[in-house]
Structure formats: structure tokens, C-alpha cells
Structure 1
Amino acid sequence: MSIISSNIKFLRKKKGLTQQQFADTIGIKRSLVGAYEEDRADPKYDLLKKIALFFEISVDDFINEAINDKWLAASAKKTASGLRILSISVDREDNENIEMVPLKASAGYLNGYADPEYVSKLPKFYLPMFKQGTYRAFEIKGDSMLPLQSGTVIVGEYVENWGDIKPNDTYVILSQTEGVVYKRIGNRFKENKKLKLISDNPTYEPYEINGEDILEVWKAKAYISTNLPEPMPKPTMESLTSMVADMQRSINKLQQSNN
């Protein structure tokens, strides 16, 4: 396989694109993408420039460098357009793994998150329902996000564009000051501004971190826990009476507001 073909395949997968999605973006047929990646054909120079521009890599590097995770890690972590380089690993069938960051590895992850060798040594698994996107799992600690218990594993989807962060949703945030935390977001992200982090447990006060300290953002998509839910308690006469009283008060307020 030539350098060009391997680079196209590697960078396309790094972007999380199928051959069809990449072909649609570049404006060519999917069959051509397959031919380029299988080294059955080479893109013409004008198309090569377009592909290199799309991946924000110089044509010279695209032609001469075997681009991989280590090469990207050695390059700038953030390009002019805000693309953040993420280290991943894949299984034998070329599916992206879900690497897990257990509690004992949280401190090390702060230093090794951009190191492909470190990431490759993390525990990993695969969930077939998460076929699109890049995911990572983080074990949380403490009671700040009750009812999720300490030891719960949060599966998060990588957020490349932090402008997509939505208030009131929950995320795993990796920052230079706080390390790995799982919190609810209190405001939209703006470059070089503070991000408000809120605990679901109201006994913990919200706090802010500087945007420049944030290293990675993962949107919570699922959780894994060994703490199974307790059965719902049977209603008592006292609880039913209280519920009826609450409903009556709500009806009275609604009637008063309509008068």
C-alpha cells in the first residue's frame, strides 16, 4: 500500500467518515475512494490538493509522510480551524474500540490522553449500538452526580466542536485544573470563556473552569453500573393523600392565573 492510499484511509477514519460520506464531501464517486485506499489508482494532483486541504495537512506531508497517531501527536494538537487531534485504537476488524479510563488511571490520563501508546494500553471494549462516532468510557467517583453512584462508568461520545456543547446536558470534561469530571453544563461554550459545571447533587455548588484549560469533552451517551435500581415503594394512604393535595394546589393556582 502506498503512502497516499494509507494516508487517505487513515485520515478518513480519523474523521469518522464512511467512504460514501467522504466521497460526498470531496465531490467524487465512492468507488474512487475505494480505488485510492486500495492503491488501485492515484488521485490527480488537483484532487490531491483538495483532499490534503480537507484534512488540513500540506500536500508535501500527504505525499511523503506515513501519517499515523504518533505523527499527529507530534504535530500541533490544535490546527487553525480548531481541529483537535484524538488518539484512538481499533480492533482486528477495524472497528474503533471504546477505551475505558478506570479511577486508578484518571490521573495518568491527564498526562497521556494525547499519547497513542498510552491510549492503546487502556482497557477496551466494543458496543455494537455505537457504530458512528468515537467513544470513551470513564469511571466516576464521589456522590456529586447522584443518583448515579460512585464507580458508575459513563460512556461518552467525543465532541470535536465545543460550540456543540448544550446547556443542561451532561459531559465528561478533561481539564488541566480538574482532571476528569462528569458534570452537567450550565452555559454555552465560548472560546477563551469560562464553562459552568453543575452537580446533580444540590449539596455541591456549581463552579467554573477556564475554556483554555479544557483538553477534551465527551458527551454522555450511556452508563454502566453494578448498582441495580431499587423496586418502587408501594403507595401508602398518607402518600396518596399528599399527592391529591399537591394536585389540588396546582389546579387552584392554574385557575387563579386564568381569572
Structure 2
Amino acid sequence: MKPSSVFFAENLKFLRERRKMTQQELSEKLGITRVRLNSLENGHTKTPHPTDYIEISDFFRVSIDVIIRVNLAKAGELALRQLEAGREAVLRGDNLRILALTTDQNQNENVEYVPVKAQAGYQAGYKDPEFIAALPKLTLPNLPPGTFRVFPITGDSMLPIPGNSDITGKYVADWLGLRPGTPCIVILKNEQELVFKMVTIRKETVLLESLNPAFEPYEVGLEEVLEIWKFHSFATTSFPAGNPDPGELFRILLKEMRAITGKPGL
């Protein structure tokens, strides 16, 4: 049986730095020496004393089980805040947002393509490295730093982006960092297909809006959202029909760019 990963040392350093505390400050709060804290953070203490687990767990308001077994650096700020507020379920079971990745022979992250036929199983397989590894791989030039995935969309709720486009999205770990009205691919628990919408994160819900005014906006609970991928680009084989008004096209594109960049002066 493969041993479980232990993240105690990494989590201790992560939680300290998240509080913007020095080792000296935290060691004084915990009542231990800075040398001992440094040893714990660097994994030099292979068998920490049970009181170390208890005191660190109590100080950061994170359960011992989570601080040992969950890589908190990948959990996202929203989940961490909910965890500290006593909503530990956000970081457990089906709500654990740990991203499954694959890499090429040079250890560079792959860009996976999630075809429509695979989307129904994505909710169950998005955390499964074997499921992700089985997805087709793409090579996309000039991508900025980050983790990217490509999702084909259907329907016309996001016109003028055609319904048969491939949307390249960048993985969002910290949902609270999204500007209101950011175009995103959203993976929901109870939807067989993903949704592509303008996303606004609220206190307990996520507002999903379409570019096409024929579609009404709606909200879903935060607990229904599995993953969010921020819009980066799209590709399509559809050619625009008719003779659209250049001024109207400019206004639509300007609106999209403002939503993406958050700069009203564009």
C-alpha cells in the first residue's frame, strides 16, 4: 500500500507566512524556541511531539488531520477562510480542491483538452490523475505562467463567442481574487456539461451571467462549484455570418476586454 503524503512541515511554513509572521514571532506565540520551529518547518524533526501538533492546530484553527494530510498551499484562499471559520468540510471529501496535473517528459505541465463526450465524467474524474492523464494533450504557444486546460463549449449563451468554440482557461485557485463579471469556465457538481459564463463571487453564492441578453443570470451555491478556469482565449472554425455593424462589434469587444482586464478606460 502506498504511504499517504504528509504535509505538516510545508503547511506549518505556509500558515506562518500567510499570517506574515517571522519564525521568532511564531515561536514566541507557541512557547517553543525558534530553532525548534525552524526544524519543524524544514522537516528535520521526523517525529514531532503530539503537543506540537495540538498547539499548532489550535493556533491556526486547523484540525490536526488536515494540517498533516492536506496540502493547504493548493487549497485556495476562499477554502482557507471557510476552514478557519469552522467550515472544514470545504477542504474534505468531494469539496477538496486539489488539482490533478500531468507533465511531459521535460516536466512541463501539459494542456489537457476536455472533449464534450468526456465532460459528463469530468465531475467525478477531475481529481483523478488517471482520468486527467487519459485526456488528449495540446501544445499551445505563448502561454503565460499557470495551469491551463481547454474546454469546448456548446450553445449560444455567450455570443458573440460562437457555441462551437474551444475555450482555453487558466486554473483559479483563489476564487476571491476574481473581479466581478470575469468570463470563466465553471465546473458544477450537478451539471453534465460545464458552463461558460461571466462569474461574480459573492458571500455564499456565485452569480453566473451570459453575454447573450436572451439568457437570464442565475446563482449557484459555493458548495456546488468544483473548479473555475478563467478565460484566456478561444478558437473557432465558425466564420461570422452577415455584415455586422463594425461599431457594434467594437462595442462588444470593448465590453469583453473591460470584463477580462478590469480596466474601464480601455
TM-score bracket relative to the smaller structure: 0.5 to 0.7
Q: By how many angstroms is 1:177 displaced?
A: 2.4
Does residue 182 of structure 1 match 2:196? yes
- 2:41 is paired with a residue of what secondary structure? helix
CA deviations on 1:61-99 (whole Å, 9 max, x unpaired) are 79xxxxxxxxxxxxx9827xx983100111111110111
Partner of 1:203: 214
Partner of 2:225: 214
Partner of 1:110: 123
Does residue 150 of structure 1 match 2:163? yes
CA distance in 2, matches of 1:166, 1:214: 17
Instruction: Quote the RMSD (CA, aligned, Å).
Output: 3.9
Q: Which residue, out of 140, 143, 164, partners 1:127?
A: 140
Partner of 1:251: none
Q: 1:200 to 1:101 in 2, by over 3 A?
A: same
- 1:105 is paired with a residue of what secondary structure? helix
Structure 2, unpaired ranges of 5+: 15-19, 23-34, 44-55, 57-65, 71-88, 248-266
- 1:110 is paired with a residue of what secondary structure? helix
CA deviations on 1:92-149 (whole Å, 9 max, x unpaired) are 1111011111111110111111111000000111323224111111110111111111
Q: By how many angstroms is 1:168 displaced?
A: 1.6
User: Rg larger in 1 or in 2?
Assistant: 1
Does residue 94 of structure 1 match 2:85? no
Question: Normalising to structure 2: TM-score of the pair?
Answer: 0.57
Q: 1:233 to 1:156 in 2, by over 3 A?
A: closer
Structure 1, unpaired ranges of 5+: 16-24, 28-43, 63-75, 240-259
- 2:121 is paired with a residue of what secondary structure? helix
Asked whether the 8 Å contact 2:97–2:226 carries over to 1, the reply is: no
**Between Structure 1 and Structure 2, how many residues are aligned?**
183
Partner of 1:50: 41
**Residues 72-91 of structure 1 correspond to what in structure 2 (within 5 A)?**
78=91, 84-91=97-104
Q: Which amino acid aligns with 1:146?
A: L
Q: Which residue, out of 162, 177, 180, partners 1:167?
A: 180
CA deviations on 1:212-251 (whole Å, 9 max, x unpaired) are 111101101111111245696699xxx9xxxxxxxxxxxx
Identity value in percent: 37
CA distance in 2, matches of 1:200, 1:207: 13
